[in-house]
Structure 1
C-alpha cells in the first residue's frame, strides 16, 4: 500500500485534482496543463522548504485559490470562449475532426429528438388518442422520450454491446410494467406507477450516461449533476416554448384561425418529448454555461428552503397539529424532501472537494437536519395510520420512500457534521450519495412491478 506522504501518493493527489479541473468546460486541456505546472512548481518549492509532500500539496492548492476564481480568471483572459460555447456545438473546438464530430452529434441529436416527438403520436395508429386514453399515456410517458435520450448518450459514449443490451432489456421491462397490469383511472396503483416508472427509467438513462466508466463513483456523481442540469435546461426550453405558443395563438387568432387543435395535439406533446432530448444534448454540448448558473441557484434556494422547513417545524410545535398523510399530502411532502435532497446533491457535485468547510456547509447541515425532522414526523404519521386503518398502495410506497430518504438524510447529516468538524473528507459524502442510486432504482422497480398485483390493482 502506498504511503500517503510518498511521491506516488502526491502523484495520485495531483491526478485527482486534475480530474476535477477537467470537469470545468471553461478550462481547456492546455489550461489544465498550465495550472498543473504551476501546482507542481509550488509543491516543489514547499517540499524544498521542508514540508512533507502531503502538506505541500494542500498548501499549494490553497495558494492557487478556488477553481471558480481560476475559471473566472481564464474567462477574462479568453472572453471569446463564452461566445463560442454559446454559438457553436463544439464548445470552442476548432479542429476539423472536432468540428466533424460536433456536426455528427448535432444530427444524431436531431434524429433522436424527432424520434421522441414521433413516438408520442405512433399510438394513434393503433387507436389510442391523447385526449381519450389518459391511462395509457400516463403510464407510458417516460417510454416515449427516455429511450431516445439513452440512445443519444450511448452513441456519445460509444457504449459496448453489453450496455446496449442492458438498456434495451430494461426499457422493454418498463414497457411491460406500463401495459400489462389492468389499472383503472381511479386506481392508486396507476398513480404510483405513473410516478415511479419514469424515475426507474431515468436511472436507466444513467446506465447509458456512465457507459464509458460505470464503475467510477465520480461518473455517478456526474450523472447526478447531469440530472439537475437537464432539469434547468428543460425548464428554460419550456418557458421559451410557452412564449412561442402564446404568440402563435394570438397571431393566428387575429386572422380568424384557431390553432387550438394543432397546439394541443401536436406542438405541446411532440415538443415536450423532443425537449427532453434537446436538454440532454445542451448539457453535453454547452455544460459550462449552466454550470455557472446552477451553483448560484443552489446557494439562493438553500437558505430559503431552510427557512421554510424551520418555520414549518416551529408551526407544528406551536399548534401541535398532526400532518395530513392523505395521497396529495404524501406526494407534496415527498416532493419537498426530494427537492431538499436535490439541493444537497447539486451543491455536492458543484463543490470544490479540496476547499475547507465553510458557512454554506453549516447551512446545508441545518437544511438536512430540518428535512430529517420532517421526514421522521411524516413516517410516524404514516406508521400510525397503517397500524390503525391498514395500508394502501400510496401509503406503502410513501412508507418505503420515506425510510430510504430517512437513511440517506441521516447519513448525510452525520457525514456533513464530521466534515465540518474536519473528521472526514468531503469525498465520503459523495460516495454516500452515489451509493444510494441503486437503492432508488430498486425501490422504483419494486413499486412498479410488485405493488399493483399485491394490492389487487386498486
Structure 2
C-alpha cells in the first residue's frame, strides 16, 4: 500500500468517526449530516491543495466548522419544527423521505413503559396487606421513594447495560433503605417520620446515581452528568405535575357535570399511580431527549441566581436592622436548609453550563455574592442551633439540622474561596467543578447516617 493510499484510508476512517459522532445528535438528520460532511470534505480538499497533510487538513477543517453544539443550535433554529417532533417521535431519516425506526430508542420506550407500570403497581401493593392509602400517612411518607426510585434505577441500569456486582450494590442499598423505613412503627407525631421522609429519598437518589454513572463512578465528569440529569429530571417532573394538575381539574369539572364524582378514583388511583409513573417518564425524557432541551436547568439558574442573591442580601440586612434572632423550630429549620440547598443547586447547575476555559465575568461575581450570603445565613443558623441545643438539649430535628448545616458550611466556605480565587484569576474554574462533584459522597453518607443511625439513637422519637 502506498503512502497516499494509507493517508486516504486513514482520512476515510476519520470522516466515518466524525459522521458517527454527528449522527448522535437528534437535531441533525441524515440530510444535515450529508450537508455538513460535504462542506467538511470541501474544506479538507482546499487545505490539502494548499500544502497541508491529510491529517492536518482534517483537524483544521473541523476546527473551522465550529463545535457540534453550535452546529446543533444553528440547525435547531433553522428547523425548529423538528424539536417538538423529537419529544414524541424516535427514528432516523433514511434519506429518501421515509423513517427507519431506531430499535434502541423503541426498546427504551418499552422498557420505560414497563418500569413506569411497575412503579405504579408498587404503590398499590401495600393495600393488598390492608395498608390503605388514605389511612396510613406515616407508612407512605417513609416509604414513598421506595416505590418509584428502584424502578428509575432499573431503567437507567438497563440503559447503561450494568452487569455483575454493579447490579447487586443498588439492590442491596434499596433493600437497606426499605429496612430503615420499616424497622419501627412510627406515629404521626414522631419527628423521625419527617426526618426519614426527607432523608431517605436523598439517600436513595444517590443510589439512582450509582446506576446512572455505572462503571464510571470515580469520574468527576460523570458525576457532573448526573447533576445535570437531576436538574433536568426535576424540571420535567414539575412540568408533568403541572399537566397532571390540569388533567385532574378537567376530570372533576367534566364528570361532575354529568353527576359523577371522580374523587375516589383520583385520590386512590390517579394521583399515587400517576406520580410513580411520572418519576420514570421524566427520567426517560431526559435520557431520550437530552440534546434537545439539555440546557433548561442551567438557563433557569441564570434567571434565579440574581433573584435569590437579592433575597438573601435583603434578609441579612433585615436581620442586622431588626436585631432579631432566627427561629430554629422544626419548620424553620427545614425552610432554611431547603434555602441553602437551593443556593447550592443554583451553583451546581451554573457550573455545569459554564465553559471552564472562559475568563471570569459578572455572573461569576454574582455567584460569589450568592454563596457568601448563603454562607452568612448558614453561620447564623448554626449559631442559633448550638445555642438552642446547649440551653434546651438535643432533639432529632436539631441534631439533623446541626449536621447538615456543618456539611453545607464546609461546602459553601470552600466554594466561596474557590470562586474568589477564580474571580481574581488565581485558580482555574475546573477546581470548583471538581470540588463540587467530589463532595457529593459526603451528602450521600450523611443521608444514610440519618436514615440508619438516628432512629435507634433517639429511641425512634
TM-score above 0.5, yes or no? yes
- RMSD of the alignment, in Å? 3.2
Residue aligning to 1:75: 76
Map residues 20-35 of structure 1 onto 2, 5 A cutoff. Answer: 26=27
Candidates 262, 271, 278, aligned match of 2:281: 278
Structure 2 distance, partners of 1:141, 1:217, is: 30
Query: Using the alignment, how far apart are the partners of 1:94 and 1:113 within structure 2?
Result: 31
Aligned residue runs from structure 1 range 405-420, under 5 A? 405-420=408-423
Query: 1:329-340 maps to which residues of 2 (within 5 A)?
Result: 329-340=332-343
Structure-1 separation of matches of 2:148 and 2:328: 33
Q: Which runs of 4+ in 1 moved over 3 A?
A: 20-31, 63-71, 76-81, 92-98
- TM superposition shift of 1:254: 0.3
Q: Please list the CA deviations of residues 274-293 of structure 1 after superposition, one character each: whole Å capped at 9, or x if unmatched.
A: 10000000000111333243
Q: Single out whichever of 184-193 and 75-84 deviates more from structure 2.
A: 75-84
Aligned partners of 2:295 and 2:353 also within 8 Å? no
* CA offset digits 1:193-218 (Å, max 9, x no partner): 11100100011000000014222110
- Which is worse superposed, 371-380 or 177-186? 177-186
Partner of 2:170: 167
1:414-456 per-position Cα deviation (integer Å, ceiling 9, x unaligned): 1111222222222111111111111111100100111111111
Query: Does structure 2 conserve the Cα–Cα contact (< 8 Å) formed by 1:357 and 1:420?
Result: yes
SS at match of 1:422: coil
For residue 367 of structure 2, the aligned residue among 364, 367, 370 is 364
**In 1, are the aligned partners of 2:26 and 2:86 still within 8 Å (CA)?**
no
Task: Out of 330-339 and 432-441, give the one that drifted further.
Answer: 432-441
User: Aligned-pair distance for 1:350?
Assistant: 1.5
Q: Is the 8 A contact 1:249 1:259 kept in 2?
A: yes
* 1:203 equivalent in structure 2: 206
Distance 1:305 1:117, change over 3 A: same
Distance across 1 between alignment mates of 2:374 and 2:297: 21
Aligned match of 2:445: 442
SS at match of 1:450: helix
Structure 2 equivalent of residue 421 of structure 1: 424
What CA deviation, in whole Å up to 9, does each residue of 1:291-349 have, x standing for no partner? Answer: 24322211111100000000000000100010000000000000000011111111111
The partner residue of 2:230 within 223, 227, 230 is: 227
Q: 2-side partners of 1:342 and 1:449: how far apart?
A: 25
From 451, 457, 460, the equivalent of 1:457 is 460
| Distance in 2 between residues matched to 1:87 and 1:256, nearest whole Å | 35
The aligned residue for residue 303 of structure 2 is 300
State the distance in 2 between where 1:24 and 1:422 align.
35
Task: Tell me the equivalent position of 2:149.
Answer: 146
Residue in 1 that maps onto 2:14: none
- Aligned partner of residue 355 in structure 1, secondary structure: coil
Q: CA, structure 1 residues 392+345, in 2 after alignment: closer, same or farther (shift >3 Å)?
A: same
Indicate how the Cα distance of structure 1 residues 303 and 134 shifts in structure 2: closer, same or farther if over 3 A, else same: same
Alignment-derived partner of residue 85 in structure 1 = 86
CA distance in 2: counterparts of 1:223 and 1:427, whole angstroms? 17
Partner of 2:6: none
In 2, Cα distance between the equivalents of 1:151 and 1:233?
A: 19
Distance 1:194 1:342, change over 3 A: same
Residues 105-144 of structure 1 mapped to structure 2, 5 A cutoff: 105-144=108-147
Counterpart of 1:267?
270
Q: 2:160 corresponds to which residue?
A: 157
Q: Could you tell me the TM-score, scaled by structure 1's length?
A: 0.85
SS at match of 2:291: helix
Output one character per residue of 1:160-215: Cα deviation in whole Å (capped at 9) or x when no partner: 22111001100000000010123222111111111100100011000000014222
Q: Indicate yes or no: 2:318 matched with 1:312.
A: no
Aligned to 1:12: none
Contact 1:67 1:352 in 2 (8 A): no
Report the counterpart of residue 18 of structure 2 in structure 1. none
The answer as to whether partners of 1:334 and 1:402 remain within 8 angstroms in 2 is yes
Structure 1: gaps spanning 5 or more residues: 1-19, 49-56
State the shift of 1:100 in Å. 0.9
Q: 1:99 aligned to 2:98?
A: no
| Aligned: 1:215 with 2:218 | yes
**Which residue is 2:17 aligned to?**
none
**2-side partners of 1:22 and 1:417: how far apart?**
41
Assess, with a 3 A threshold, how the Cα gap between structure 1 residues 412 and 65 changes in structure 2: closer, same or farther.
farther
Change beyond 3 A, Cα 1:332–1:23? farther
